[in-house]
Chain A
Amino acid sequence: MGDAETLFRLSGLNAAYAATIDADRLEDWPGFFLERCIYKVTTAENFARGYAAGIIFADNRAMLADRVVALRGANIYERQRYRHVVGMPVLGPTEDGVIVAETSFVIVRTMRDGQMELFAAGVYRDRVREDADGVLRFAERIVVCDSQRFDTLVAIPL
């Protein structure tokens, strides 16, 4: 893959990922990841200090599916939706077929009563590779939020 093609495919992956969450197709969200994967939501400060804990942490796709089941069937929170705006990926070196990339994001959250706010901004630090069928999936997506402060709750994944 040349850089141009990589950029094109990654941008498509990011766009599809964002659209899936924003359209509330959360059941499809784990499918963007490889079966063995890391998904973590943390902050720039924790990331810089090397603190390992996240507010969401999964080391396999089943844990992501569990989160969706919990959100649908267990957890109590007010209806809300996200709108992601995702930037152009910045490519790092490709290692053994693993694409390393960083992509800025902004998420606006709209609550049930219409209240809108800038909910999160940060960078996706990704490791992406093709699965057996040649489809790009996340081996790792670390969601590094610029702020250490989260409003009330982070229910829907970022």
Chain B
Amino acid sequence: MDQSTRDLSVGSWPAGLTRVPYWVYRDPEVARDEQSRVFEGPVWNYLCLEADIPETGDFRASFIGTMPVVVARTEDGSIAAFENRCVHRGAMICLEDGGRVKDFHCVYHAWRYDLSGNLKSIAFRHGVNGQGGMPADFRMEDHRPRKVRITTLHGLVFGTLADDAPDIETYIGPEITARVRRVLHKKVEVIGRFTQALPNNWKLYMENVRDTYHASLLHLFFTTFRITRLSQGGGVLVSENGVAHASATRGAPPQHDTSYAGIRSDDQGFQLSDPTFMNGRNEFGDDIQLQILTVFPGFVLQQINNCLAIRQTLPRGVDRMDLHWTYIGFADDPPDLRAMRLKQANLVGPAGYVSMEDGCVGGFVQRGIASADEELSVVEMGGGAADSQDTRATEASVRGFWKAYRSVMGF
């Protein structure tokens, strides 16, 4: 996109992908537009795992941006999803995060829905003693919560409200599809769920996840213990449309690496008294130690050695977001590998040696830009394109995020 194609009340956006205006993280009108143009637009939103809803009647409450949705396994084994909003007066139909039901009842006036979200009955539809009730011509089939189109990818359930969303593999591209399959290659099992409330706009978090440049600089834990350093092998894949990315750290770090000399995160005096938890197992049959993968708008799949997790990014107002963590293992994990996952989970989540800093840093930006609506951030490491690169000293996949974002927002 060469120029802003929309008239912005808050400011303009220079051409190219290397500058991002700070109003985009602060403006309430932009946040409102994102709900309709991004989350309810031609994108695929991660909703839950197939493993969350294996049997008929199993459901999981989730979100598409701020829209509450219910995802359920129906009688014929397919997955259905619909807006969690009663067509009568708008109350939430489903109040639990998950469980198993025969059907759904709105608690307000007991309107009843089947597992696909079709309205099936209305309490006192014909009134009482011949009085009251709905008009005779009221047709239940004309009223139903918005339906969400579902697709699955290696056990992940995605939903869209747009008829024109491409199929998921086209959406994320063949290379990223292969990287999803690489991790989720067999039946998964949930081993924990946590929510981390972050004091920043959701886009700051998604940029952070795609930012391969920061990881070994902000996170001393990574660098010092040589879990990932930019001087290790690896790189970043970015899909053609910018929608998806996968970064990888490969192999072992060089023995005598001086490229970090003088940088705060290279504190060689720091040692673990129990280093065994970093003695992971090579379970994916390649040399990728760490892979972070995202799908626009808010999905993250993480493999840090044996620590596997899914993160769902949800906006909660212009300067708040929730990050829903689902820690996973495989159903056939041997006990020692499962134990290793539990130990390595110390790296991630709200108390993670690594993730706690990602939790903070978005807030540092959000506070730093409090009066910077006229200013621009610089996203120029590795050039100006959103292309795949054989280095992680780049911001190519951050630019990919903005490529996808500007395309659906019309900026």
Contacts and interface: CB of A to CB of B under 8 A. Distances in A.
Contact of B350 (A63, A74, A76, A153): A153
B191 A74 contact: no
Given A52-B191, A148-B194, A150-B197, A74 B220 contact: yes
A60 B196 contact: no
B273 A73 contact: no
Interface size class, chain A: 35 or more
Nearest to A59: B343
B338 to A, nearest CB: 7
A43 B327 CA distance: 13
A148 B193 contact: yes
A130 interface: no
Given A53-B342, A57-B346, A153 B192 contact: no
Contacts of B137: none
B224 interface: yes
A52 B192 contact: yes
B351 interface: yes
Contacts of B272: 66, 69
Contacts of B345: 53-55, 57
A28 to B, nearest CB: 16
Interface size class, chain B: 35 or more
B356 A73 contact: no
A1 B153 CA distance: 58
B193 A65 contact: no
Interface in B361-408: 361, 363
The 6 closest A-B pairs by CB, nearest first: A53-B192, A62-B274, A150-B350, A154-B351, A153-B356, A74-B220
28 contacts: A51-B190, A51-B191, A52-B342, A54-B192, A54-B342, A55-B194, A55-B345, A55-B349, A55-B351, A57-B343, A62-B273, A65-B273, A69-B270, A69-B272, A73-B220, A74-B220, A76-B360, A76-B361, A77-B356, A148-B194, A149-B196, A150-B196, A150-B351, A152-B196, A152-B350, A152-B363, A153-B360, A154-B356
Interface of B: 97, 190-199, 218, 220-221, 224, 267, 269-270, 272-274, 277, 322, 327, 338-339, 341-343, 345-346, 349-353, 356-357, 359-361, 363
Interface of A: 41-43, 45-46, 51-60, 62-63, 65-67, 69-70, 73-78, 148-155
